């Protein structure tokens, strides 16, 4: 599929109200996801994002990937024929992850566990150990989660692994929306791929989700309120941008090490 219909659901989530949040998410998914190829949701949209709450109730609120929330989203994805990127608090045994679950229309689920945790998250979540790409009916997706858009190397690694669309569930607070908007555009243009940054809103979160093309142009954007973003992504634009400026193919990785940086002494003008 070379042209995709993509939706980003910028939603609010009440901390701790999993049943209400999931009901709200499923209603939005069924209302706005019909006819789409890809739907992206915010970070931890099922539980809300509240670190103090996770200290007290994290084990209670987290769910395994075969739990009721992912199962319900998988059923909706199958009904709609769309791929869904779901932000969820995942429990695997006694370990808790901040996860983006990529749910395909055939009900298969591919979890990406946040690898680069924000400092305040280090005592609440375990860090994932792997980057992933997922081949879906909506093309090859590369997930990152919120703070991870601060690391250009992650996006470039995913681009080199064939990612066509970078999907970034986020929970960026009010006052820091510029980080979401600037970095999402930069990661898209740096690597000449599409990017979808879908952020929580309400409860201190800023919204300002956006969908960006491989040149860094914003195709759709939201303000601070709940919103549904839609855009058509022509995957052929990726190769056109990369042919025009083949930066990824011209990387010189041997130079990208601190020990490879030389220090030259000054030359005095006029010296022979």
Q: Report the alpha-carbon distance of residue 198 to residue 39 in Å, rounded.
A: 10
Burial 152-190 (b: 16+ CB within 10 A, else e): eebbbebbeeebbbbbbbbbbeeeebebbbebbbbbbbb
- Residue identified by tokens 């769910």 is 63
Q: What is the pTM of this model?
A: 0.95
Contact between 106 and 78 under an 8 Å Cβ cutoff? The reply is yes
Q: Which two tokens stand for residue 262?
A: 């030389």
Dihedral, 153, 159, 160, 162 alpha carbons, nearest 10 = 150
pLDDT tens readout for residues 40-68 = 999 999 999 999 999 999 999 999 999 99
The 8-class DSSP code of residue 120 comes to G
- Residue 1's pLDDT is 67
pLDDT of residue 268: 81
Could you state, in order of their start, the residue ranges of all structural domains in the chain? 3-245
Q: Tens of pLDDT along 225-271?
A: 999 999 999 999 999 999 999 999 999 999 999 998 987 777 788 76
In whole angstroms, give the CA distance from residue 77 to residue 37. 10
For the domain spanning 3-245, the CATH number is 3.60.110.10
Degrees, nearest 5: CA angle 97-142-199: 65
pLDDT of residue 272: 57
pLDDT under 70 in the chain at which residues?
1, 271-272
- The pLDDT score that the predictor gives to residue 266 is 77
């Amino acid at each position: 599929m070379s042209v995709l219909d993509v939706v980003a659901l910028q939603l609010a989530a009440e901390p701790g109200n999993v049943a209400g949040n999931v009901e709200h998410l499923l209603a939005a998914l069924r209302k706005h996801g019909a006819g789409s190829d890809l739907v992206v949701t915010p970070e931890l949209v099922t539980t809300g994002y509240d670190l103090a709450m996770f200290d007290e109730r994290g084990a209670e609120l987290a769910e395994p990937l075969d739990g009721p929330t992912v199962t319900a989203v998988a059923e909706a994805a199958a009904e709609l024929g769309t791929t869904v990127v779901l932000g969820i608090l995942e429990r695997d045994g006694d370990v808790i992850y901040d996860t983006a679950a990529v749910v395909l229309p055939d009900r298969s689920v591919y979890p990406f566990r946040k690898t680069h945790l924000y400092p305040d998250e280090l005592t609440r979540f375990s860090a994932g150990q792997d980057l992933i790409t997922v081949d879906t009916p909506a093309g090859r997706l590369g997930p990152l989660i919120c703070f991870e858009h601060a690391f250009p190397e992650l996006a470039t690694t995913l681009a080199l692994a064939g990612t066509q669309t970078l999907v970034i569930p986020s929970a960026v607070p009010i006052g820091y929306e510029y980080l979401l908007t600037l970095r999402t555009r930069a990661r898209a243009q740096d690597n000449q791929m599409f990017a979808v940054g879908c952020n929580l809103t309400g409860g201190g979160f800023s919204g300002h989700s956006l969908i960006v093309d491989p040149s860094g142009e914003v195709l759709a954007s939201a303000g601070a309120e709940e919103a549904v973003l839609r855009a058509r992504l022509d995957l052929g634009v990726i190769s056109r941008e990369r042919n025009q400026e083949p930066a990824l193919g011209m990387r010189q990785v041997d130079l990208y090490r601190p020990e490879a940086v030389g220090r030259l002494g000054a030359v005095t003008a006029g010296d022979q």
